[in-house]
């Protein structure tokens, strides 16, 4: 398991949520979209790490 990768993905998710919320408050659709994109990227990274963890468990 890549702890560093998970930490980075979690930080990106938090950053994306904050950016999306700011976009909601200010009415800026660009901020909302960029924030959501960061969250999706973080979810993808978490999924990739889950697959790697599962493969490692099966090998062990």
**pLDDT of amino acid 18:** 98
Residue appearing with tokens 């990227």 = 41
Q: How far apart are CA 9 and CA 52, in angstroms?
A: 15
Strands (E), 1-60: none
**pLDDT of amino acid 25:** 97
Given a contact cutoff of 8 angstroms between Cβ atoms, the answer to whether 48 and 28 are in contact is no
**pLDDT of amino acid 60:** 83
pLDDT in 10s for each residue of the chain, 60 residues: 578 999 999 999 999 999 999 999 999 999 999 999 999 999 999 999 999 999 999 998
Angle at 54 between CA 2 and CA 51, to 5 degrees: 65
């Amino acid at each position: 398991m890549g702890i560093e990768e998970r930490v980075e993905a979690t930080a990106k998710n938090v950053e994306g949520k904050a950016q999306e919320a700011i976009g909601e408050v200010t009415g800026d659709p660009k901020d909302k979209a960029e924030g959501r994109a960061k969250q999706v990227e973080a979810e993808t990274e978490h999924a990739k790490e889950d697959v790697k963890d599962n493969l490692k468990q099966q090998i062990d």
